[in-house]
Amino acid sequence: MQNILQLLEVIKPELTFSASRSSGPGGQNVNKVNSRITLSWKVSESALPAEVKEVILKKLQSRITADGELQITVQESRSQLQNKEATIQKLQELLTKAFIPRKVRKPTKPGKAAKQARLQSKKQHSEKKKWRQKPE
């Protein structure tokens, strides 16, 4: 967790925020206030070490655009400041998930009962097919 916070401090100057009009209910204010916040970060041009960038690009590839830009949009609140804080929080969560190592699958073999059940099923299927044949 400490490493992620340090990582955020390094990339904070690289983050760009843009505000736009949010969708949904908002009364008379909705057409005047730009409360939706979009965070943009060019991962490929970041000052991070190459290994860190590689992990981020690999793990978050579905969220990164063709030009290597990670975009996070939040419009949950009517407040621009709260939405900005929420985008930073989402970025922190994404980075935390990206650096959690995947658990290695332990290969297992089918048990004795499972093998017997499979063979029994095959035998029954074979018998059924045999009864469908013409008698000799």
Please give the average per-residue pLDDT across 92-118, as a whole number. 93
Q: Are 21 and 36 in contact (CB under 8 A)?
A: yes
| Domain total in the chain | 1
How far apart (Å, rounded) are the C-alpha atoms in residues 58 and 48? 15
The per-residue pLDDT for range 52-89, each reduced to its tens digit, is: 889 888 998 899 988 889 999 998 888 889 999 999 99
For the whole model, what pTM was predicted?
0.70
Asked whether residue 52 is domain-assigned, the answer is yes
Asked whether residue 8 is domain-assigned, the answer is yes
Q: What is the domain-level CATH number for residue 51? A: 3.30.160.20
Asked whether residue 113 is domain-assigned, the answer is no
pLDDT band at 2 (very low <50, low <70, confident <90, very high): low
Asked whether residue 123 is domain-assigned, the answer is no
Domain hosting 81: range is 2-98
**Rounded to 5°, angle at Cα 46 from 4 and 86:** 50
Asked whether residue 122 is domain-assigned, the answer is no
Q: Are 39 and 15 in contact (CB under 8 A)?
A: yes
Asked whether residue 70 is domain-assigned, the answer is yes
**Rounded to 5°, angle at Cα 9 from 84 and 57:** 85
Q: Which residue has the higher pLDDT, 119 or 133?
A: 119
pLDDT for 127: 94
Sheet holding 16-20, edge to edge: 16-20, 36-42, 69-74
Asked whether residue 130 is domain-assigned, the answer is no
pLDDT for 7: 84
Asked whether residue 127 is domain-assigned, the answer is no
